[in-house]
Amino acid sequence: MSESTNPSPPLLRVRNLSTGFETPRGLLWAVDGVSFDLDQGRTMGVVGESGSGKSVLVRTVMNLLAANAVVPDDGEVLFRGRNVRDLDAIEERHFWGTEMAMVFQDPMTSLNPVKRIGRQLTESIRFHLGLDDDAATERALELMNQVGIPEPKKRLRQYPHELSGGMRQRVVIAIALSCSPKLLIADEPTTALDVTVQRQILDLLGRIQRETDMAMILITHDLGVVASYTDEIAVMYGGQIVEHAATSDLFEDLAHPYTEALLASIPRIDLPSHARLQAIGGRPPDMVAPPPGCRFAPRCAYRTDECEAAIPELISVADRMHTCRCIRPLVSHRDVAEAVVAPNRPGSS
């Protein structure tokens, strides 16, 4: 681990990571063989519908799983060259917060309703940085300014219910940033907020990410959200990454039929009102007994019998950085190889 052939190993390297849960019906693979690298200062978006394994993936990366979770040993999460799964309890405690931190989905429930904001904000500062009360409060005020909370002195003495949803999420972000993590994971940070506040929170996360040069993983089910805030995007379906590319490449040359369907299902403001919304037909795969071949095949408009034979490998399309798990990717680059077949429009039996 110490001597590496690569001059600068990525901040986070995930290799063949799987996570299963014991359920009454059998083992459910929520995450199935995921690999990716993330460099310092980069923002990766993870997109997928509910149940596609996004949250479980990042919880596995942070080693924050419930007791009934199963993670096979061949899966690796290397953070700065160190396997996160090998940390002992005390190392882990100092790892969370200072190395990786997380912003949760719903600021209405993530804060303790009976503790003042100040106490909750300084808790981890005092624990990790060992500051005394005055210094911790000083740092808390600084953080609150950084995340754009007006009248920080007054807010310190308030309780969560006295703050709006957007302000609460800013507090949560300040808590996550309090010990300068190298990697910030934001698990649908704006889902519980209304649209105008969503924009402010995403702008804030983007600004802080640039200022501190930390890496960020932004989880969302909204492709529109990630488009302007990420450097690269991983699209997940059925626990697997089905397409992974730089953000601009993904939108220009999307390769996987699922990505296309996901983009088509975003409501468009230029369509006449009451126009029918595009939805992806069928249901997400049953992860206790997933389909034998491509996970998306049963719902795919371009399905052939070949699709159901075996799980497609993640292959490079267009360029080396753009990978896609489909035997007939939709890329427009004709020179990529024989794998690229002109897509049949739906209706071809």
Partner 1 sequence: MSAPGRSDAVIAGRLPLNHRSGLFGAGLLVAGLVLTWVSLMRLDASAGFIKYILVAVALGAVFQGLKLVSKWIFGPLFDLGLWLSALWISLLVLIAVFADLLPLRESRDVSQALQAPIRQRPNLFSSHPLGTDAQGLDILGGLVYGARVSLIVGFGAVLIGITVGLTVGLAAGYYRGKLESAVSFLTDSMLAFPPLILLLAMVAVLSPTVANVTVALAVISVPTYIRLARANTLAFAQREFVLSARLLGERNPAIISRELLPNVLLPVVSFSFVIIAVFIVTEASLSFLGLSISRPNPTWGNMIAAGETRLNDHPHAVAVPGVALFLTVFSFNRIGDRARKMWDPREAKL
Q: Contact residues for partner 1 (CB under 8 A)?
A: 64, 90, 93, 96-97, 104, 109-115, 120, 123-124, 127, 161, 175
Query: How far is the first Cα of the chain from the last one, in angstroms, to the nearest whole number?
Result: 51
Helix (H) or strand (E) holding 155: helix 152-156
Residue 121's contacts (CB-CB under 8 Å, 6 or more residues apart) are 140, 143, 144, 156, 171, 174, 175, 178
Min separation Cβ 311 and partner 1, Å: 34
Q: Nearest 10 degrees: CA dihedral of 119, 121, 126, 132?
A: -60
Min separation Cβ 114 and partner 1, Å: 4
Min separation Cβ 168 and partner 1, Å: 12
Of 115 and 153, the one with the shorter C-beta distance to partner 1 is 115
Min separation Cβ 65 and partner 1, Å: 11
Tell me the longest C-alpha to C-alpha distance in the chain: 71
The Cα–Cα gap between 346 and 128 comes to 56
Min separation Cβ 173 and partner 1, Å: 13
Of 107 and 285, the one with the shorter C-beta distance to partner 1 is 107
Of 112 and 145, the one with the shorter C-beta distance to partner 1 is 112
Q: Which two tokens stand for residue 167?
A: 């302000």
Of 92 and 222, the one with the shorter C-beta distance to partner 1 is 92
Of 109 and 145, the one with the shorter C-beta distance to partner 1 is 109
In the sheet that holds 319-324, the strands lie side by side as 100-103, 183-187, 215-220, 43-47, 232-237, 240-246, 319-324, 315-317
Min separation Cβ 68 and partner 1, Å: 12
Of 59 and 325, the one with the shorter C-beta distance to partner 1 is 59
Helices (H), ranges, 22-148: 54-61, 89-95, 107-110, 117-124, 133-146
Exposure on the CB side of residue 16, measured as CA atoms within 13 A: 5
Write the DSSP assignment of 213-225 as a string of letters: T-EEEEEES-HHH
Of 8 and 68, the one with the shorter C-beta distance to partner 1 is 68
Min separation Cβ 171 and partner 1, Å: 11
Min separation Cβ 73 and partner 1, Å: 23
CA angle in degrees (0–180, nearest 5) for 78-79-80: 110
Residue type, 253: D
Name the burial class of residue 159, with classes exposed (0-12), middle (13-18) and buried (19+) by CB atoms within 10 angstroms of its CB: middle
Of 115 and 157, the one with the shorter C-beta distance to partner 1 is 115
Provide the β-strand partners of residue 187.
219
